[in-house]
Amino acid sequence: MSNDLRSWFVTFPNGMIPLVGNWGSIISPDILIGIDPEVNKVVRDIMSSSAYIVNKLLKYMDKLTIFRDTLQEIMEKTDVETRDIHSNISTLSDLFDETEEDGGVIARKYMLNQLRINEDIHGDVKLLLDGTIEKMKKNREGVGMIKDF
């Protein structure tokens, strides 16, 4: 690819779209590796839709600020809805205080559940890696057989 800045873009009738990743994107492409393909598609649709809207509104500051404010409202609502239980535990002693049903017991159950999830993920990753290693060994053996021929 040329060092000319124009070569980093594809020109469409309504403007230029970057070929390289979203400059302001928080999501790194390697984070999406291994994610369910449907989730990956939705994430990419959201990112490209947001970039498209911003590109369309660049000349209209009032509409651009409305879009930004709307996104910030959604972000705040999402933060409240997805805040995990750790934010509700004020001190470490609350975590281990068995007298408080809403603090210690719930936190302990949450942590045990997270450990189980991590064990399940670890088991799945181990199976995936074992399968990949076996395939690589077979491929290597196959290459060796071709060389011997």
If asked whether residues 125 and 64 sit together in one domain, one would say: no
If asked whether residues 79 and 109 sit together in one domain, one would say: no
Number of compact structural domains in the chain = 2
If asked whether residues 79 and 90 sit together in one domain, one would say: no
If asked whether residues 67 and 134 sit together in one domain, one would say: no
**H or E element at residue 18:** strand 15-18
Amino acid at 126: K
pLDDT band per the 50, 70, 90 thresholds, residue 16: very low
If asked whether residues 66 and 139 sit together in one domain, one would say: no
Q: What is the pTM of this model?
A: 0.38
**Model confidence pLDDT, tens digit, residues 23-61:** 445 566 666 667 777 887 888 788 888 888 888 888 989
CB-CB neighbours of 103 under 10 Å: 20
Q: How far apart are CA 128 and CA 130, in angstroms?
A: 6
CB-CB neighbours of 80 under 10 Å: 8
pLDDT band per the 50, 70, 90 thresholds, residue 144: low
Q: How far apart are CA 68 and CA 70, in angstroms?
A: 5
Structural domain that includes position 136: 86-149
